[in-house]
Amino acid sequence: MTLAATLALHQPADAAEARDLATIRDFVARHPHDPFDRAIAEGHLTGAAIVVDAAGRHVLLLHHRKLQRWLQPGGHGDPGEASGEQVALREAREETGLQGLVLHPDAPRPLDVDVHPIAARGSEPAHLHLDLRYLVVAPEGGTVVMAEAEASALRWFDWDELDGLDLDPGLCRALKKASGYARRE
C-alpha cells in the first residue's frame, strides 16, 4: 500500500491531529517520490517510535540533548528509506541501542501523526518536521544504550509517571494511544 493510501485510512484522535494529517497528506501528494528528502525547503517527513517494553507496562523516552525535553526516539530518513516504519525502527535502534525491535502487531501504522516547526539553525532554514509515529515493541530483556550525541538521558517510564514530564500535547496524544494498545491483555 502506498504512503498516500495508508494516510487516507488514518483516523485522527483530535482536531489538532486532523489538521496535521491534512498537512501531511497534502505534502505527500506534492512530493510523492521522496517525501523524506531533507533538501525539500518547506520540510520533510520524519519517523518516530513510541517504544514499549514486551509486557506493555513501560515506555522508553529520551531526554533530547538539544531540545532539553523528553521525547520519543525518532528522526530523519536516510537516503533510500521510503517508509516511516523503516525510519522509525532504525532511529529507535540507533538512539536506544535496542536490537530486535518490532512494530506492534495490532496498532495502526502510523499510530499518530504530528507536524511541528523546526527553527533555523546555522545554514539550515526554518522548516517543518512532518512526523509519522509508530508503536514499537522492545524484546524482553533488551539492553538500552543511550546515544550520547542525541540524548542526555534514556529511561523507561511507567505510564502513570508521564504526567509530570511537561510533554508536548502531540506526544501526550500519541502516548495515550500507545498505552491503549500496549496494555491490552
Ordered by where they begin, the domains of the chain are 3-182 (3.90.79.10)
Is pLDDT of 60 > 80?
A: yes
The alpha-helical segments, DSSP class H, found in the chain are 3-9, 15-30, 84-96, 169-182
- Strands 58-64 and 69-71, how do they pair? antiparallel
Whether the predicted pLDDT of 25 surpasses 80:
yes
Say if residue 185's pLDDT is above 60: no
Global pTM value: 0.95
Model confidence pLDDT, tens digit, residues 31-47: 999 999 999 999 999 99
- Cα gap 57→154, rounded to integer Å: 16
Q: Please give the mean pLDDT across all residues of the chain.
A: 94
pLDDT at 29 over 70: yes
